[in-house]
Homo-oligomer: A and B are copies of this chain.
Amino acid sequence: MDRREQLLGHNMPLFYRNPVQIVRGEGVWLYDEKGNALLDMYNNVPCAGHCHPHVVKAIQKQVAILNVHSRYLHEGILNYTDRLTALHAEGLSSAVFTCSGSEANEVALNMARIATEGRGIICTDAAYHGNTAEVARLTRRGGEQSREIRSIPFPQCYRPIKDNLTPSALTDLYLAELESAIEAFTKDGTALAGMLLCPILANEGLPNIPPGFMPRAAKLIREAGGLVIADEVQSGFCRTGCWWGYELMDFEPDIAVMGKPMGNGIPFAGVVAGTELVNIFRDSTKYFNTFASSPLQAAAGMAVLDVIESENIRQNVIDVGKYLANELSQLQESCPFLGEVRGRGLFIGLEWVRDRSSRTADPEGAYEIVNCMRNKGILISNAGALRNIIKIRPPLVLQKEDADLFLTAFEESMREFDGAI
């Protein structure tokens, strides 16, 4: 720890009060330096599991043959793009690749701004889309209201902006917030470029979204001349049981941004959009990214798609995800602090609250549970706008037996927490 602080600076993010030192990974398991096994219920990058042999082999093969930038012709990235775009909505037929989700969101914002000749971007008030200066402007806690960026309260059913409304009235209310943001841009003379949202609002806390919000929001944005950008960095690649978060939420974006699980750990991210949009972007920017669109990215990405398809990962996500959510919902009855169990597929969020009637967020309690689970050898974390959401998002190869290990430990942790209060 001291050495880390000296070499990498203090306040470099680290999980758990008693941090984990890991030396090896395999499937849903991580191993510490003493050989202890830790069940990984949190890493959303190694979607095929840590060190999946097929992915490892593909990477090993490619790095020994060729790994170079994209100013030459190479079939790898073309074959990958063919396969990736075929998995997307019909209009999303061309791609721009990058190394990180931040870079991909940079491309998406720039693409929308160039294509619309507008600058205004709408996001939510508890979003996270990356760490570069331009993208980080979308991440101000409490929301940003400036000439180029306007945030809206993120749509949710658990702590709605107004109580005692019917679900559809709540949808209307959040859409009215969106309309206000659009009008505010108009008043400022800022042309709208678009809206950038994670379809499942993962960083906001994975809320249940008032019904029909996403498709109706997309329609409003388009009517106002903007483009709809789906940040699929967390929701993509079957995480929710659908290939993409936008399918689950029933809308089609103009630009879809992908990242984390794309290369199972190899830095690989990018966007898909209509060919015309990509052409407008490339004409204006001559975009080039040294490490992106490489044979290595293509090989890793291809192997990930192989695994998802050949191992029927999507069905596994649906089945194990449903089992896990059902079991957690049953635990809820015996736990006054578990305010809500939500999510889809292998992306589950638990509202940790002081008590169910007040719904007061309890981030310290959530952190206690996370640390208690870590001491039982199960890795999860807490996140969300109020930091009180216990997030569960294991590699997508998690099996029912693994889920049972998690559930047993979670029930124990709940009891211990209850007993300690």
Q: Mark A residues whose CB is within 8 Å of B.
A: 1, 3-4, 6-15, 19-25, 30, 43, 45-46, 50-51, 56, 59-60, 63-75, 77-78, 81-82, 85, 93-96, 98-103, 106, 109-110, 131-134, 259-260, 265-267, 275, 278-279, 281-283, 285-294, 296
Contacts and interface: CB of A to CB of B under 8 A. Distances in A.
A367 to B, nearest CB: 14
Given A60-B63, A63-B59, A74-B23, A100 B101 contact: no
10 smallest beta-carbon distances between A and B, as pairs:
A9-B278, A133-B134, A267-B291, A21-B73, A267-B267, A67-B265, A7-B81, A99-B99, A11-B282, A60-B60
A8 to B, nearest CB: 6
B15 A43 contact: no
Nearest to A13: B288
29 contacts: A7-B94, A7-B95, A8-B81, A8-B293, A10-B279, A10-B282, A11-B279, A11-B286, A13-B70, A13-B288, A14-B71, A21-B72, A21-B74, A22-B68, A23-B65, A23-B66, A30-B66, A30-B72, A46-B68, A51-B66, A56-B64, A60-B63, A68-B265, A100-B289, A102-B103, A106-B133, A131-B289, A265-B294, A266-B267
B110 A265 contact: no
Given A63-B51, A72-B19, A290-B100, A275 B9 contact: yes
